[in-house]
Amino acid sequence: MSAGTAATGSVEHMLRQVTPGRYDAYEALLRALATSSSGRLWMLLWHGQAGSPDAQYGNMEVEGHGYAPCVTSAQELSASGWNRSYEVVDGLDVARTLFPDHYGLWLNPHAPGGGVGIPWLDLRRIATGLERQPAGPLRLSEPAIEISQFYALLAQNAHRAQAVRTLRRAWVQPALGAPYLAIGLDVYDSSPPAVDAVRTMMQQSIGAVPDGLPVSTVAMTDDYDPVVMWMRANARPFYDREAHAPAPAQGPGSGYGFPGPRPY
């Protein structure tokens, strides 16, 4: 138990550094949670026992979003007054469990100030690799930079790559790190030949991007990516293969709906 208590020290230390606007401290907390040696959590069970099939995490709602409450050590468990069962798990494992259901994690809700909530989008970053996803909250908008030559070349190469259905774009400003241009890829299939065709399309087009402008791609099939969600709601395709195809002989065409803006 002493080893487990020592291991939680990193999470508890980082937790104490988190204050509004301190995104660097928040990122350090996420890194601690993602590390098996330091990211142990005491998950509060509302029902059942640890390891039993009917075990169920507690849940709480904050501003319309669901969170599973937990504590960061045996000492905090005692301080919380929780008198039901609990389960000790790695932060990485619980992140993988919670984020697909759009559930976040709330650390030490009994503490003065109410503890710290980790939204499900950040649990997804922990589960899939922090460095693979931009740090939120993200500011998303239409790209203002004028690079029409790149877009024209990309659309031309996309037309040759039969796997590509549509292309969208967004300007992404992470909480930490440099802003970048995101290209949303909507493809007909994800077979190896299709993946190779899309990779070739990007390689043939990227030379038209001005030096120093970062460009990233996202798959429009990713239901958990905030950039994808924003694109679906706000960004019309700048390339649409089917928009140039002949209309079907019967029935309505397969168009795209564009709902109003949603907050992310």
Which residues, in sequence order, are bridge partners of residue 44? Answer: 86
- What distance in Å separates the CA atoms of residue 205 and residue 193, rounded to the nearest whole number? 18
DSSP class of residue 30 equals H
Mean of the per-residue pLDDT values for the chain? 87
CA dist 186 and 180 (Å) reads: 19
Q: What is the pTM of this model?
A: 0.78
Classify residue 120 by its DSSP letter.
Answer: H
DSSP state of 127: H
Per-residue pLDDT of 191-203, as tens digits, reads 999 999 999 999 9
pLDDT tens for 80-102 read 999 999 999 999 999 999 999 99
Q: How far apart are CA 230 and CA 226, in angstroms?
A: 6
- What pairing do the DSSP bridges indicate for beta strands 180-187 and 164-173? antiparallel
State the alpha helices, DSSP H only, in 35-184.
74-80, 91-98, 120-128, 148-160
Q: Which residues contact 232 (CB under 8 A, 6 or more apart)?
A: 220
Residue 244 CB-density burial (10 A; 0-12 exposed, 13-18 middle, 19+ buried):
exposed
Model confidence over 15-48: pLDDT tens digits? 999 988 899 999 999 999 998 666 789 999 998 8
Domains of the chain as residue ranges with CATH: 2-132 (3.40.1350.90), 139-244 (3.30.300)
pLDDT of the residue at 64: 92
